[in-house]
Structure 1
Amino acid sequence: MVTSPSCALIADDDAFFRIALGALLTRQLGFTTVLEAASLDDALDLLGTRPEISLALFDLSMPGMKQAASLAAVRECAEHVTLAVVSGSSSRQDILGALGAGVHGYIPKALGPAELVKALETVLSGQIYVPPILARAGSAEMSVAPVSADKAQECLARLTQRQREVLQALVAGRSNKEIARLLGLGEGTVKIHVAALLRTLQLPNRSAAAAFGARELR
């Protein structure tokens, strides 16, 4: 359990879900204040005027939300906030897009209350929550052709130690700026490492790398 959480924001246009999620935050996770927003604009207004917000939970289908692009904008303007998606979508594209935008977790609404609380505890503890569906191979929605386990480990073995660290950070949904701070590197250096590991792994983008790393890193 995370100690002394204070203020959380739930951004979702489903009023009943906001009530249910707010109850979990206050009764089981110890938040003293839960703010609500029914649109992206309302959520951004609150993030801009309530600096005490430490956790923000966003739905992907509320008014104004353009998924990954909007989430990336939120990360830019509220870097101090732990940001997670709580969504009814279990699409790999949505999950990878959100993680690529730098959120700290993607939590499906289909989880039961106990599992949802555990997922939130993971996020609040500083870890990244990735739903199990992301690790399941064979989905028709998978945007990157699957490779054999031997081939995947062969690709990983060609990465330098620093590139593996950057890959782990991509799996965690961190932005280049966050990776630079985490590893003590320049942001330009991080971009070079990302480009190099994408070439080595023969992957098209950082979202694909995050999915690969979530499956293959041990």
Structure 2
Amino acid sequence: MKKITQLALALTLIFAASCKDKKETPAAPEMEKETEVVTKTETAVKIKVALESKSNSKVTGNAVFTQEDGKVKMVAVVEGLEPGTHAIHLHEKADCSAADGTSSGGHWNPTGAPHGKWGDAAGYHKGDIGNLEADDKGYATVNMTTDEWCIGCGDETKDILGKAIIIHKDADDFTSQPTGNAGSRVSCGGIIQ
């Protein structure tokens, strides 16, 4: 009986010692390191915007804005367009309530620059994306990446949250002020979270 008690006591001590060793495993410091890496790394932000028909058109689609490493990438896919060239811009307000899309305001131009072609030394609005080409079936895509935009950063000259993406009936001529003579608004989507 004494040997069984001693054996039980020995097993209890071994079990307690092994539990003690497990408690001293450096799990907490590893978690802290992971947290530090996450907080120091810029995280990606992604917003998908549905484009709805305006001005009695059948133009729909979506645009995806992804922010990562200090740059915003926009990919827009549009359908229902007439074949040819159409302007695509960011406008002042994420309000697509008007039947003709005019509730979105004018081009987003936080720096007061003249209307123009994106990247032109003579100047351009921060919303002057440019043109897209619709194929013979009415489909068009546009890809753009810039460090001149951000998503939710609070910088009034860069933040695209609260703006609208607009597809126009006609091409942007890049010179007519202030709209590029792009015609009516055939699709609108608000950039909101």
**Global fold match (TM > 0.5):** no
Structure with greater strand percent? 2
Query: Higher relative contact order at CA 8 Å, sep ≥6: structure 1 or structure 2?
Result: 2
TM, length-normalised to structure 2? 0.26
Structure with greater helix percent? 1
> Which of structures 1 and 2 has the bigger CA Rg?
2
TM, length-normalised to structure 1? 0.24
